[in-house]
A = this chain, B = another copy of it.
Amino acid sequence: MKEVTIIRRERFSSAHKLWNPDWDAEKNESVFGGCSNPNWHGHNYELIVKVAGEIDPETGFVMNLKTLSKILNERVIDKLDHKNLNLDVNFLEGKRTTTEVLAVAIWAEIETEITQSGGKLTSVRINETENNSVEYFGEK
């Protein structure tokens, strides 16, 4: 079977802080360092999504990248871009806003619609800075 993977990059710029409400400020600061600044900080995040599938012989596509981009924008980018990840995003409510948690939460937001469009979601990667990234491959 000739399964091919398509890869789409989107970007969003958001504020957040790392904060565990069960801990006092001192403990938050000792674990999360500058990332716990009460007044927030932020990043230009890159979201990189991989979808596998067989090539449609008529189009030569696994899935039209415009369809994938539309899913990513409606489900993720429109909700995260120029937002506060801790305050403004319904699907992150009550969660830590680490890149790890973000990757798992984004997977849950997009998997069903990608499956319905005929693809198989295989990876959600988030680059938080040029040095720090996270990748999630789904439950095993």
**A contacts, CB < 8 Å to B:** 1-11, 13-16, 18, 20, 22, 31-35, 37, 39-44, 50, 55, 58-62, 64-66, 81-84, 87-88, 95-101, 103-104, 129-137, 139-140
> Which B residues lie within 8 Å of A101 (CB)?
55, 60
- Cβ of A109 to closest chain B Cβ, rounded Å: 15
Cβ–Cβ contact A42 & B62, under 8 A: no
Known interface pairs A41-B42, A59-B96, A84-B39; A66-B15 also in contact (CB < 8 Å): no
User: Are B59 and A4 closer than 8 Å at their CB atoms?
Assistant: no
How many copies of this chain does the complex contain?
A: 6
Contact between chains at B42 and A95 (CB < 8 Å): no
Known: A55-B104, A65-B132, A100-B55. A15 touches B41 (CB 8 A): yes
- Known contacts A9-B131, A44-B129, A59-B20, A35 near B82 by CB under 8 Å: yes
- Contact of B129 with A66 in the complex, beta carbons under 8 Å: no
The distance in angstroms between the C-alpha atoms of A129 and B4, with both chains bound, is 17
The one of B10, B95, B131 in contact with A8, judged by C-beta atoms closer than 8 angstroms, is B131
State the CA gap A9–B128 with chains docked (Å): 12
